């Protein structure tokens, strides 16, 4: 049976590009903010572009923060992309202090005044996680100025940006990627296909 991926629509993100790439590697996709629709999916993707606080406000306005918490508590797979990865953390210090979804322990901090990580960069696996190991040494597209800072046990890959920064994190069936796999051509498509299939136990 074909895996169905739910793409969480909270008004902030690149849902259509994520849908296009996931569809191209064989998955059925549904873009929605309706729990009734999302409940019928095998895995959820939380995309995101922009700032942390407006994103959390948009999730709370739709009660999606509580929904995603319940989804994760039930052990169902969830992937966060770029800002979506940062939203998985406990708190962000972008433009003040803003609580996150608290699904993977950690904080989101600035890379430094005026610093921005944009463009192609190689990721290095920090563990032997079988879902990420084939991507070790491959290049992916990044575009961010804030980074996840959390316990090393949750970091599965990093990139070098004047020092190591977390490029992928994982806690059980919850995965976050700071880079954009949907914009990373062949390497990104292969990783998404492997993650969705692996997290869904297919």
Domains of the chain: 4-199 (3.40.50.880)
45-73 pLDDT, tens digit each? 999 888 999 999 999 999 999 999 999 99
Q: How far apart are CA 155 and CA 149, in angstroms?
A: 9
In angstroms, what CA-CA distances link 176 with 61, 96, 129, 131, 184?
Answer: 23, 23, 13, 12, 15
Beta pairing class for 98-99 and 91-92: antiparallel
Q: Exactly one of 41, 98, 155, 180 is catalytic; which is it?
A: 180
169-186 pLDDT, tens digit each? 999 999 999 999 999 999
182 is annotated as an active-site residue: yes
Q: Exactly one of 82, 117, 125, 144 is catalytic; which is it?
A: 82
117-169 pLDDT, tens digit each? 999 999 999 999 999 999 999 999 999 999 999 999 999 999 999 899 999 99
180 is annotated as an active-site residue: yes
Q: Which two tokens stand for residue 31?
A: 């873009």
124 is annotated as an active-site residue: no
Residue with structure tokens 């299939």?
197
Q: How far apart are CA 202 and CA 200, in angstroms?
A: 5
Q: How far apart are CA 149 and CA 105, in angstroms?
A: 9
Q: Exactly one of 94, 98, 155, 182 is catalytic; which is it?
A: 182
């Amino acid at each position: 049976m074909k895996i169905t991926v739910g793409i969480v629509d909270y008004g902030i993100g690149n849902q259509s590009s994520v849908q296009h790439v996931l569809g191209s590697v064989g998955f059925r996709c549904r873009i929605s903010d309706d729990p009734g629709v999302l409940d019928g999916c095998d895995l959820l993707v939380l995309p995101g572009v922009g700032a942390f606080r407006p994103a959390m406000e948009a999730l709370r306005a739709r009660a999606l923060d509580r929904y995603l918490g319940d989804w994760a508590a039930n052990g169902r797979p969830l992937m966060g992309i770029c800002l979506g990865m940062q939203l998985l953390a406990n708190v962000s210090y972008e433009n003040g202090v803003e609580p996150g979804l608290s699904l993977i322990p950690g904080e989101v901090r600035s890379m430094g005044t005026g610093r921005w990580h944009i463009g192609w960069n190689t990721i290095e696996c920090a563990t032997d996680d079988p879902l990420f190991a084939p991507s070790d040494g491959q290049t992916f597209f990044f575009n961010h100025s804030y980074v996840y800072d959390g316990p090393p046990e949750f970091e599965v890959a990093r990139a070098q940006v004047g020092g190591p920064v977390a490029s992928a994190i994982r806690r059980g069936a919850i995965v976050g990627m700071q880079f954009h796999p949907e914009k990373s051509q062949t390497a990104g498509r292969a990783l998404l296909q492997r993650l969705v299939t692996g997290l869904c136990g297919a």
